[in-house]
Structure 1
Amino acid sequence: MLQRIAKLIENSKEWWKGDKEGFFWTGGVFLVILLAGGIFRLLVLWQDWSPIALTHEGEQTGFVSKEKLIQEYMTASGLPGLVAASRNGKRYYYQWCAGLNRIKEANKIWFDSIKSAEAAGYTIASGCEGL
C-alpha cells in the first residue's frame, strides 16, 4: 500500500514537471470562457426592457374590474345579490354555500357586495369559503 502511494507521488511530481505551457494555455482558455459567459449573462440581464405604461383604468383594453365580474355573475345567475343573510341571523352566505339552503326565502336578505353585508353587521359564515 505504501509502495503504491510512493509511486503515485513520484508520478505526480513528474506530471507537474512536465508541460507547463499546456497548463498555462488550458487555464487561460478556461478563464476566457468564464469571462465570456459572465459578460453574456450580464448582457442578457441588462437588456433594455421597455417600461410598463400604466394608463387610466377606463382606457385599458381587456381589463375588467372585480366588481364588474361580480355584477355579470349575479345577472347571469338570476339571483338578486352576491351574498345572502337571514333576517334573524348574524352570518352571511355566498350563493354556493350549503348554509344558504337552510334559510327560508321569506327570511333571506340579499346584498350586492360583501362590504354592504358587513356594514349591515353580518359576518361570513364559518365553513363558507368565498372570494
Structure 2
Amino acid sequence: MLTDAKEYIKGFVRARSGDLFVACMIFLVSIGSFGLGRLSVRITQHATVRITGKGAEVSTAAVMRGDAVKRVSELPEASAGAVVASKNGTAYHLPWCSGAQKIKEENKVWFASKADAEARGYRPAANCDGL
C-alpha cells in the first residue's frame, strides 16, 4: 500500500514536472515580492525628523509621524503672539496644536509668552506637545 502511494506520487511528479516548476516559481516570486514590499514600508516609517528650537530657526523643517508630514512653515502663524487661548476656556495652546485650531477666531485670545498666559490664569493644554 505504501509503495503504491509512493509510485503514484513519483508518476504524478514526472508527468507534470513542468507545471509544478512554474507553480513553484510563481509562489516563490510572490512571496519575495511581498517580503520586499513589507520591508520597504517598515524602513520608511522609522524615518523620523525631530525639530528643536524656535519657530524662526526651523521654518523649513518637516515633522513626520507615520504618513502625515507637515512643514512648520505651513502651520498657522502666531501673528499676535506665541500662545493662544479661548476667552471661554482655561487652557492655552501653541498655534499649531489641534486644540488651538478648534477655537473660533472671535474667541481667540493671544499672549506673547507662556508666562503671560499663566499670569492671566490659563494653564498649559494637556494635549499640546511642547508646553
Which gives a bigger RCO, structure 1 or 2 (Cα 8 Å, sep 6+)?
1
Structure-2-length-normalised TM-score: 0.41
Structure-1-length-normalised TM-score: 0.41
